[in-house]
Amino acid sequence: MALTKITETTASGSANIAFTSDINSTYKLYIFRFIALHPSTHSSFTVNFSTDGGSNYNVSKTTSTFYQYNAEDSSEYALSYLTSDDLGSSTDYQILMNSIQSATDGNGSGYMLLFNPSNTTYFKHFNSWGQNMINADKTNNNYVGGFLETTSAINAVNFKMASGNIDAGTIEMWGQ
């Protein structure tokens, strides 16, 4: 089945970017693409989910995260499990990209997959990959996976920075 672009939102000093419609039984897979997101302050990019059309973003989730970073001159590098960004049956916002630089050339890009959000029998699964500049000379790859602990349909998704606004960038929603 081909990918279908459903909608996109471009940030301009936005507190958050919410998708409160078009997440339904039309598709079994929803893909959110993050393109050149730039924060107003050095911050992490986060997500949460809703079962009530976006009135509340408080779905309990259990997640696992790891990251890989490398300095431009290869003087520093790591591949690590990041327990501090894991959630265990928590309604908190999940970090998708950690520590995006707010420097003029700082930004983050990536995607998130949300599987079968309209199913009312099983928990929903999601995973994400994001790449961002964590300081002037380091690139960071973030990997997140987990499940949403609800059998209710997920019908809204909210993205925001942990602090400050999303100054620039685009988030697209695709269905397959």
Residues 6+ apart with CB under 8 A from 88: 62
pTM, rounded to two decimals: 0.96
pLDDT digits (tens, 9 = 90+) for 59-76: 999 999 999 999 989 899
Please check the confidence at residue 88 and state whether its pLDDT lies above 80: yes
Separation of alpha carbons 108 and 101, rounded Å: 9
User: Cα separations (Å) of 80 from 39, 41, 73, 83, 85?
Assistant: 24, 25, 20, 9, 12
- Rounded to whole angstroms, what are the CA distances from 141 to 23, 29, 152, 157? 27, 23, 31, 22
pLDDT value of position 162: 97
Window from 14-23, 81-90, 134-143 with minimum mean pLDDT: 134-143
Backbone phi and psi for residue 85, each to the nearest 5 degrees, phi listed first? -100, -5
As a whole number of angstroms, the distance between CA 141 and CA 143 comes to: 7
Residue 45 has pLDDT above 80, yes or no: yes
**Residue labelled with tokens 């602090």:** 163
Q: What is the largest CA-CA distance in the chain?
A: 50
Dihedral over alpha carbons 148, 21, 34, 17 (to 10 degrees) = -90
Q: Average the pLDDT over 10-31 and give the result.
A: 98
- Look up the CATH number of domain 4-175: 2.60.120
